[in-house]
Amino acid sequence: MIVSSLQREMIFSELEDVVGADHVSTRQVDQLIYSTDWSWMPQMWLDRGLIPARADFIVHPGSVEEISELLKIANAYRLPIVPWGGGSGTQGGAIPTYGGIIIDLKRLNKILEVNEESLYVCAQAGINGTQLEWALNEKNLTLPHYPASANCATLGGYLAPRGSGTISTKYGKAEDLVMSMQVVLPDGRIIRTPGVPNHASGPDFMRIFLGSEGTFGIISEATMLIVPLPETRLFRAVLFKSIGDGIEAGRRMMVDRLEPLVIRMYDPSSTASLVKKVLGYELEGAYMIIGFDGWEEIAAAQEKRAMLICEALGAKDLGREPGERWWNHRYDFYYPPLGLHLPQMYGTIETVTTFSKLEDLYWAKKKAIESHFGEIGIRYIGHFSHWFPWGASLYDRFILEETPEDPKEALHLHNRIWTVAVRTSLENEGMINEHHGVGLKLSRYMRAQYGPAWHLLASIKEALDPNGIMNPGKVGFGVQSNG
Amino acid sequence: MGDRHAPKPAFIENPLQVVEYCRYCLMCRHVCPVGHVTHNETLTPHGWALMIASAQRNLLEWNPEAVDALYKCADCGLCRTHCATDQPLPTGIAGARAAVVEEGLAPESVMALKEALERWANPFQRATPESPIKTGEDAILVGDAAYFRTPQTLDAAMQLLAATGVEPIQLARGRNLGLLPSSLGLSELAAELASQTIEEIKSTGCRRLFLLTPGDIYTVTRLYPERLNLGLPDHLEVIDLAAYLERSQENGLLRFEKIRGEGPYAYHDPEHGARIKRNHSAPRKLLRSLFEAAREVSFFWREDRAHPTGVVGGLNWVQPDLARDLTEARLQEAIDAGARFLFTEDPLALEALRAQADGRIEVSGLYETMAAHLE
């Protein structure tokens, strides 16, 4: 914690020595812009004329060695460190809650190797997702991780919160695509995980950094699996009368290992609102997109089997155009004014569970949210995406049009809604999150999520970051790690 | 293709309103050229929008640091081009700059440009010639950069047009068309310069208006109606010179002696080309028709994601360091791609690229090269 202006200037000089004067800022305007990420809380705070949190310094290192030196300085002064990629997190993971140093990784944006034989790309963690993708596309390759945040997120930001993309159902989450990483530990040591992800040479310590959201170290480089751009991508839309039938159809596609690229089913509320607003279709029921990719004849055969499943469960085939339209406009849902935006209050309270509990979880959350907050006009919508052979993600949201003007009152209400949502997820054996991460928003639920196992994570934190400098207040860890 | 039949863009009455949508949106970050060279969150579309929204909420005062950041947007239009809902953020930023000018808080360099534009109608502080009193079917907008900085570009364009049987009247010679002052928040001055140009166009009675650069096309077809509430005569067909020449070459009206250069070459899409519906293949086809065997190499930042040099948005006057970085990024991109020759047609970009190339790559004007090899 900085206690005097003299000390502040002394620290500034040390930071400047590491990265150069052009790459360290204490400007008011930079502090303002770096005070918020894509989450509702700081945006609402700013909207009501309050600054959520200010970093003391915003630093742009140009090499992994510079990151290492910055962490040593931070340890010496017990200064909080907040790693920053694209600022596209929705859980407040990049908010400098306790001030300190924001380390913006965007200067580390180089592609270091594209290996077309073993099909991987090695790049620095600060590279922008879409820029990386475009560069791979020039070689007819793709990193099959297509999150809605690709235009703004960075490679490090894909991995730190264990993100999912639109086509994760076939290719896996970001964590399934990573082969190896370079990480700067809190004490400044630079380590590399093994060059291959699958081996039997002891525990897989790479995994502890995935989902740690900068609390265990800073991911500075990653090697990711890539694939050739497919010969074809086939999309169709179908309409189910009930979400139960849709879940069963998705389950059969997954357990039959049809390898769908996408299964996305909007619940009737989303179909009537979002699908109508963005895609222009007026439909009653649960709108499902099904996609397959790869070799034309194989994708066509997979699609044929999937359609038989849907037909057997009473789905109406809407044809190819509504599926392709969704694919071509899949990110439009996030552009203003189509996406959720202030003055609305909203939260993506998504979760994941097994097939046997998925529908019950949906109804329980819908009932909990609507019964607790129905009187104030809350809306609950959701879709099912990111399917696994054992279950799927329920990507659900609450939306409130009228919100309290007082920011504290608004924040407290937001937290109350989240608490109801998270408790209901836990009671129904859902996880508190599937792919947006924990950040600040879900930090307080981590002990409830893990129970006695929380001690294991807390012990790792204590061992790696005894001074508690790394992204304090996030992922369940406090300012000083205290288990 | 001319865009005579394109719908006229609507006037944006309250440019500051747009920032309410953009302040928390990050979806165009990937294409911002300034963000790409500065790596700074503040200097991205979201950063500028949040700054403006915060100033409106008294969270940020327009102190010199904040004003400096506000004046680092290049007004290149890429954010809007890549916005799924077509949010006119560059116009919002220009609106915020206008408010800063109004409050007397604009940088000195902006006020110096204002003075020059008011006195000379161009930033080069050179006297503009008398307008020609002529009428005719065809006209070409000259503007200030081609007239004062690269007259050889204009000469080449005239020579190429003549070879196709067109001898246009030269309009707005030495006069800024209004984009520069509009970008800098000098909206009244922009409107005045634009009005003079429109009057001059009307006085000729021309039906076809040839334009040297995408920046000029953007200015007269989009900026005039959207930011200045001004319009061109309805009957006027606006023609991208490069597209016209490519058609003429296809039709056999233009023939070139082949260039026997051995080195690979690259083409820099001119500034503002991404914000209009441009036929990006036209200048590339023209270059292919010029070279006998030389290999064409591509920029990563090309066509509808083309990054500009530092001559956009007045950066070369107001933010010279940033302008240099942007121009250097384009040069480096060409060099990294293996190009020995670099072509473009925007006069100011041509000048900036040449000045910074320092013998690393040979920079040439597209029109000049074509004119020099006319059969």
Q: Is B25 at the interface with chain A, CB within 8 A? A: yes
Quote ipTM for the complex.
0.95
User: Partners of A227 in the beta sheet?
Assistant: A142
pLDDT (average), residues A107-127: 98
- Compute the mean pLDDT over every residue in chain A, rounded to the nearest whole number: 96
Does B2 score more than 60 pLDDT?
A: no
Band of pLDDT at residue B9, cut at 50, 70 and 90: confident
Which residues lie closer than 8 Å to A255 by C-beta, 6 or more apart?
A: A389
Share of chain B above pLDDT 90, in %: 91
Tell me the backbone φ, ψ of residue A111, rounded to 5 degrees.
Answer: -90, 120
Kindly indicate the confidence band of residue B67, based on its pLDDT and cuts at 50, 70 and 90: very high
- d(Cα B347, Cα B213) in Å, to the nearest integer? 8
> Is A277 part of the contact surface with chain B (CB cutoff 8 Å)?
no
What part of A 62-101 touches B (C-beta under 8 Å)? 84, 86-88
Question: Does residue A47 belong to the interface with chain B, where contact is any CB pair within 8 Å?
Answer: yes
CB-based contact (8 Å) between B270 and chain A? no
- Residues A151-193: pLDDT tens digits? 999 999 999 999 999 999 999 999 999 999 999 999 999 999 9
pLDDT for the residue numbered A481: 43
Distance from C-alpha of B327 to C-alpha of B349, rounded to nearest angstrom? 8
Give CA angle at B245 (B242, B248), nearest 5°. Answer: 155
- Look at residue A225 in the predicted model and tell me its pLDDT: 98
Q: What secondary structure, in 3-state letters, does chain B show?
A: CCCCCCCCCCCCCCHHHHHHHHCCCCCCHHHCHHHHHHCCHHHCHHHHHHHHHHHHCCCCCCCHHHHHHHCCCCCCCHHHHCCCCCCCHHHHHHHHHHHHHHCCCCCHHHHHHHHHHHHHCCCCCCCCCCCCCCCCCEEEEEHHHHHHCCHHHHHHHHHHHHHCCCCCEEEEECCCCCHHHHHCCCHHHHHHHHHHHHHHHHHHCCCEEEECCHHHHHHHHHHHHHHHCCCCCCCCEEEEHHHHHHHHHHCCCCCECCECCCCCEEECCCCCHHHCCCCCHHHHHHHHHHECCCCEECCCCCHHHCCCCCCHHHHHHHCHHHHHHHHHHHHHHHHHCCCCEEEECCHHHHHHHHHHHCCCCEEEEHHHHHHHCEC
Residue with tokens 């023209």: B286
Q: What is the largest CA-CA distance in chain A?
A: 74
For the segment A385-430, what is each residue's pLDDT rounded down to a tens digit?
999 999 999 999 999 999 999 999 999 999 999 999 999 999 999 9
Answer whether A111-228 and A345-441 agree in fold: no
Q: How does pLDDT run across B343-364, given as a tens digit for each residue?
A: 999 999 999 999 999 999 999 9
Q: For B299-309, what is each residue's pLDDT tens digit?
A: 999 999 999 99
The pLDDT value given to residue A483: 36
* Nearest Cα residue to A417 out of A434, A395, A401, A400: A400
Q: What percent of chain A has pLDDT over 90?
A: 98
A22 has a chain B CB within 8 A of its CB:
no
* Tally of CB atoms within 10 A around B159: 15
**Weakest-pLDDT range from A336-345, A432-441, B36-45, B258-267:** B258-267
Q: How far apart are CA A142 and CA A227, in angstroms?
A: 6
Neighbours of A422 (CB within 10 A): 23
Find the CB nearest B57 among A38, A49, A134: A49
Domain residue extents for chain A: 111-228, 232-334, 345-441
Strand partners, A182: A192, A221
* CA proximity to A478, closest of A447, A448, A449, A452: A447
CB contact under 8 A, A47 and B69: no
Look at residue A237 and tell me whether its pLDDT is greater than 80: yes
Asked if residue A94 has pLDDT above 80, the reply is yes
Quickly tell me which residue has 């029109």 as its tokens.
B367
| Cα(B289)–Cα(B117) distance, integer angstroms | 40
pTM of the model: 0.96
Shortest alpha-carbon distance between residue A470 and chain B (Å) = 21
Q: What percent of chain A has pLDDT over 70?
A: 99
Testing the interface with A: which of B29, B50, B65 to mutate, by most A Cβ within 10 A? B29
Q: What is the SS3 assignment for A209?
A: coil
Q: What number of CA atoms fall less than 13 Å from residue B11's CA on the CB side?
A: 7
Q: Is A73 helix (H, G, I), strand (E, B) or coil?
A: helix
Integer Cα distance of A255 and A274 in angstroms: 29
- Binned at pLDDT 50, 70 and 90, residue B263 comes out as confident
A152, A123, A115, A14: which is closest to A64 by C-alpha?
A: A123
Per-residue pLDDT tens digits for B142-183: 999 999 999 999 999 999 999 999 999 999 999 999 999 999
Query: Which one-letter DSSP state was computed for residue A278?
Result: I
**Domain B252-372: which CATH class?**
alpha beta
Q: Do A38 and B24 touch (CB under 8 A)?
A: yes
Nearest CA in chain A to B21: A336
Interchain contact, A27 vs B51, CB within 8 Å: no
Q: Which run of H or of E encompasses A24? A: strand A24-25
User: Which residues does chain B have within 8 Å of residue A130's beta carbon, measured at their own beta carbons?
Assistant: 30
- Which is nearest to B67 in space by CA: B325, B308, B319, B327? B319
What pLDDT is stored for residue B350 in this prediction? Answer: 97
CA distances from A14 to A34, A83, A220, B303 (A): 21, 18, 21, 43
Question: Which residue from B25, B51, B57 is facing A33, i.e. has the nearest CB?
Answer: B51
Chain B CA closest to residue A24 = B40
Is B138-247 in CATH node 3.40.50? yes
- A321 min Cα distance to partner chain B (Å): 19
What pLDDT does residue A480 have? 58
Supply the pLDDT for residue A478: 85
Average pLDDT over every residue of B361-373: 97
**A111-228 is classed CATH 3.30.465.10:** yes
Handedness of CA B330, B332, B333, B335 (dihedral sign): positive
Q: Identify whether the C-beta of residue B61 lies closer than 8 Å to the C-beta of residue B67.
A: no
Is pLDDT of B5 > 60? no
Q: Could you name the CATH architecture of A345-441? A: 2-Layer Sandwich (3.30)
A201 pLDDT higher than 60: yes
Predicted local distance difference test score (pLDDT) of residue B6: 55
- CA-wise closest residue to B9 among B222, B256, B305, B206: B222
Location of structure tokens 């879409």: A130
* Angle between helices B187-204 and B108-120 in degrees, nearest 10: 30
Q: Which CATH architecture has domain A232-334?
A: 2-Layer Sandwich (3.30)
* Band of residue A482 on the pLDDT scale cut at 50, 70, 90: very low
C-beta atoms of B87 and A107 within 8 A: no
Domain with CATH 3.40.50 in chain B: 138-247, 252-372
pLDDT at B22: 95
Residue B334: Cβ within 10 Å count: 27
Is pLDDT above 60 for B1? no
- The whole-number average pLDDT for the span A34-57 is 96
